[in-house]
Structures are given as C-alpha cells and as structure tokens.
Amino acid sequence: MEDLDLGRLADIPDPFAEGSEKAPRSLAKRPAAPSASRAHVRGIRVMAIAIAVLSEAAWLVLVEHRNDLGALSPSGVLLGVGVPFAAAAVALAAAARRGPLGLGEPASRLAALLGLSVTVFVVGSLFATPQEYDAGPFWPHTLRCMAVTAALAAAPLALGVWSFRHAFVTATTWRSTGLGVAAGALAAATMSLACSTDSVLHVIVGHGAMMLVGGAVGAALGRATRA
Amino acid sequence: MWVPIGESFPYLAATFPMAEPIRKAPLRAAVGDPPARSIGGPSGPLDAAMDRYARGDDAAFDELYRTGAPRLRGFLLRLCGDPALADDLTQDAFLRVHRARGSFESGAAALPWFFAIARNAFLDHKRREATRRSLAGDERSAGPGSQAEAAPDTRGDLALAASETLDVVRATLQEMTVLQREAFVLIRFEGLSVSDAAQVLGATEAAVKIRAFRAYEALRAALQRQNKGER
C-alpha cells in the first residue's frame, strides 16, 4: 500500500453531490411516545445504581452473610469489598464514559479498560485474600458460589441495561459488556460479605467468574442499549 | 505510484475542479467539499437545537429535523446509494434520535452523534436485508446503484465521460465493504477529520485511516480501469 496520504481522497468526485443534501420528505410519523429528557435519564441511572446496591444489601440482610463477619478486621472487610468494587467502578466508567465527542470510547480502549477491570479484581484478590488452601472440596462450594453470584448479578445487570437502553451510539457491544462486567464485580463484592471461604482460588473462580459471564450476557443484550 | 489526477483522468479534472488533489495539505482542507466542513461546535444551531431537545424542549424537534436531516440524508445516501432508502433511513435515524435524546451529552457536538445513530440505522437495515434474503433463499446481492440518484443532465463527451465516472464511483462504493465505505464517506464527502471519523465509527484512528485509504485505492483502480477501457 502506498503511504496513507489521505489528501489524495480528494481525487475521487462525489457522485451524490447533486441533491445529496436536499431536504428529505417530512417525517412520515412524528415521534408519538414521549422520550426521557437528559435530567430524567440521569435520574433513572442514579436510581438504578441505588436499587442495585440496595438489592445486594438486602441479600446480605435477608438471605445470608458470613458468620465470621464480626470477627474480621475492618481493613480486611474493606479490602475484600473494595477490590471488586474498584473493578466494578472501572467497568462501569468504561461503559459510561462520554469520550472526546460525547460518543463514548472506541472499542479498542473499551476492551483495554475491561481487561483492566478484570486484572484489578484478580491481582487485588491475590493481595487481599489470605493465601491459604481451602481444605474442603473445591468445586461443590465454588459452583454454589458461582450460582449465588449469578443471582446477585442479575438485578444489577438488568437495571444497567434498562437505564442505558438506547443510550450507546458507538461500540455498543463493548459498552454493554462493560455493564455486565460491572454487575458481576458488584455481585463479587457482595459475595465477599456472604461467603466465608477465603481461599484465593475460590474467590477468583467462584466469585469473579461472573464478571466474565456477566460480560458475555451484557454483550448479548447489546442491541437493547443501542441508539 | 501516484499520478496527478489531471494526467490520469483529464476529463475528470476538467469537469470536477474540486477533484484536483491537494498534496500534503491538512486533511480538513484537502478533502472537504466545500472545504473543511465543520462537524459543529457547541455554538452551532444544530448543537443548540439538540441541546434544547435533550433538555426536554419538544418544540426543538422541528428545528432539529430542518437543520439536521439534509446533512444526515446526504450521509445515508452516500452509504446506501439509494435515495428512497436514504429518505427512509433518515426518518428511522430521527426516531432513534428522539428515543435517545436523554443520552446526548451536554456540550457535545450533535452532528457526530447523528452520524453514529444514522450508521446504526443503516447497519440494522443491512442486517435485516441479509436475514430477509437468506430466509428467502435469494443469494443475489443488491445491485449497486440500481436505484441511484439520477445523474445530472449531461451534454457533450466531456460531460458524458464525467457522468460515467460518477457511475463508476457510485458502483464501486457499493461494492466495497461497509467498513471501508463508511470511513471513506465520512472523511472524503462529509469532511470529518480522521480523529472525528474514528469517534463516529467507534474505531481507532489508524484503523479508520487504513479503511479510507483502501476504499480510495479501490475507487482509483476502478477509475483507471474505466479510463483504460475508453482509450
């Protein structure tokens, strides 16, 4: 390929120059249903985040929380919750960032940010979780935790897709993947207060795998978030 | 090796003075027709109307359609090559704008946002068409330029050759991949910078630049073939 001097593009005449910008016909159907204004959309998103966090808290209060919660050091609890929360924040910020023109980040940067989110969780868990070997059977307990994490991620993901419906104009699949990763990470944060197994492998696989599954589900729901 | 357009396509240079290459000139100045079409800043009428509409002022929709629809139709026409379809897609795009108005960022430029939404409408149409054709078992591709906008009235050999050139460009645009076409259309015909086009397409600048240049190479090769055929 010759050097990419895009000034040469001017060689090509515009076959649609004649009448390309003539006024199109009037709208066949006017927008019938009212759509949400900017303030309304912001309110919906704040409400969605609040409901998502409250639903996680409700699970801890009403369904289960770890028995040794009172015996844990405050810094240990903060770290256990903080690492997945940070991963969720990175993923959510990636999905919701406005970008230079208000169109969001390009797909390559979104992929990098979502990779960073997962890395934050894995590396943070390595440091935040005691490096002890879980003496019990690994898979039965881990599979149960994966199922619980999936249940915990469902509501935040549904709220995320709902509050961002018709919102993403570019890189839609990657941005809705970000919503799914954020929902999975939020569920992992809740699990750090619900599951008393501190094995690092259990935390990464049993609690963190839902970030990947959530991301895949988010990607599959991308059409709903596309403008 | 690049040959100045006046040497390769003499009738083209005579008929389309704007098609003269501007070597090493800044991209905006080089490819804009008219040069350096702005994508609009926060002070443009389209941006102001969109901002009002996003804030909930329903009355701004008419102004938005009046000021934005012609530009959007031009973009869609160049993408799809069919005036009737471009009209339909423009309407679809504006319904999407209405649906998504609350997500329009404060202080953002409206035109790139419109272009991105129009592109989504076009891609959805392409997917629906592909699905419909595959369900119908019709493997024929849609003929490029089958319902193309009528060429301007032509007189004389020069004008006839120019008209044929435009037909070649139109047909080649429809034959290339959508990725190449949309990058080329945004940069060459809509006058966006590579950076702005990359934002609209959600891709990196390098990727968009390569796509646009490949489209240019395909178009130039088609024009050279046509030129040889005439000699």
d(CA A128, CA A200): 9
Establish if A31 belongs to a structural domain: no
Residues 4-63 of B with CB under 8 A from A: 5, 12, 15-16, 18-25, 27, 30-31, 33, 39, 54-56, 58, 61
Within the 108-127 window of chain A, which residues sit less than 8 Å (CB to CB) from chain B? 108
Residue B134 and residue B154: Cα distance in Å, rounded? 39
Pair B4, B44 in one domain: no
> Which one of B167, B188, B204 has the shortest CB-CB distance to A9?
B188
Whether residue B8 has pLDDT greater than 60: no
Does residue A24 sit within a domain?
Answer: no
Is the pLDDT at B37 greater than 80? The verdict is no
Is the domain of B89 the same as that of B179?
Answer: no
Whether the ω angle into residue B34 lies within 30 degrees of 0, i.e. cis, is yes
Task: Tell whether B43 and B143 lie within a shared domain.
Answer: yes
- The pLDDT tens digits for B111-163 are 999 999 999 999 999 999 999 988 887 655 444 444 445 445 545 676 777 78
Q: Mark which of B126, B149, B172 sits at the end of a domain.
A: B149
Is A27 part of any domain?
A: no
Element (H, E) at A204: none
Average pLDDT (B193-218) is: 94
Contact A87, A211 (CB under 8 A): yes
Q: Same structural domain for residues B94 and B180?
A: no
Same domain membership, residue B140 and residue B43: yes
C-alpha A151/C-alpha B14 separation (Å) is 69
Give the range of the structural domain holding residue B78, as residue numbers without chain letter.
38-149
- Domains of chain A: total: 1
Residue A54 lies in a domain: no
Regarding whether B107 and B81 lie in a shared domain, the answer is yes
d(CA A128, CA A73): 12
Q: Is the domain of B164 the same as that of B83? A: no
* Domain-embedded: residue A65: no
Predicted confidence (pLDDT) per residue in A111-122, tens digit = 999 999 999 999
Same domain membership, residue B42 and residue B145? yes
Q: What distance in Å separates the CA atoms of residue A76 and residue A69, rounded to the nearest whole number?
A: 10
- What's the ipTM? 0.87
Q: What is the pLDDT of residues A165-177, one digit of tens each?
A: 999 999 999 999 9
DSSP state of A167: -
B107: chain A residues, CB-CB within 8 Å? 102
Q: What is the pTM of this model?
A: 0.83
Whether B94 sits inside 8 A of A27 (CB atoms) is yes
What number is the average pLDDT over the span A127-145? Answer: 80
What the block records as the tokens of B37 is: 């079409």
Task: State which amino acid sits at residue B179.
Answer: L
A52 belongs to a structural domain: no
Instruction: For residues B115 and B164, state if they share a domain.
Output: no
Task: Please check whether residues B21 and B124 belong to one and the same domain.
Answer: no
Single out the residue in B95, B117, B149 at which a domain terminates: B149
Q: Which residues of A214-227 are buried (b: 16+ CB within 10 A; e: fewer)?
A: bbebbbebbeebbb
| CB nearest to A108's CB, from B24, B102, B204 | B204
Residues of A with Cβ-Cβ distance to B191 under 8 angstroms: none
Predicted pLDDT of residue A125: 94
Q: Indicate which CATH number applies to the domain containing B182.
A: 1.10.10.10
Give the total number of structural domains in chain B.
2
A162 touches chain B (CB under 8 A): no
- Residue whose C-alpha is closest to residue B116's, from A171, A111, A28, A25: A171
Is B6 a residue whose pLDDT tops 90?
A: no
| DSSP bridge pairs for A168 | A226
B181–chain A Cβ distance below 8 A for any pair: no
Residues B45 and B116 in one domain: yes
Give me the percent of chain A exceeding a pLDDT of 70.
94
Burial of A70 (0-12, 13-18, 19+ CB in 10 A): exposed
Q: How many helices (H) and strands (E) does chain A have?
A: 8, 0
Confidence tier at B21 by pLDDT (50, 70, 90): very low
Euclidean distance between CA atoms B229 and B231, whole angstroms = 6
Query: Which range marks the domain in which residue A149 is found?
Result: 79-227
B64 and B137 housed in the same domain: yes
Label residue B7 exposed, middle or buried (CB < 10 Å: 0-12, 13-18, 19+): exposed
Q: Pick from B149, B168, B200: which residue ends a domain?
A: B149
B43: domain CATH number is 1.10.1740.10
- A-B interface: how many C-beta pairs under 8 angstroms? 228
Best of B103, B120, B149, B175 to mutate (most A CBs within 10 Å, chain A)? B103
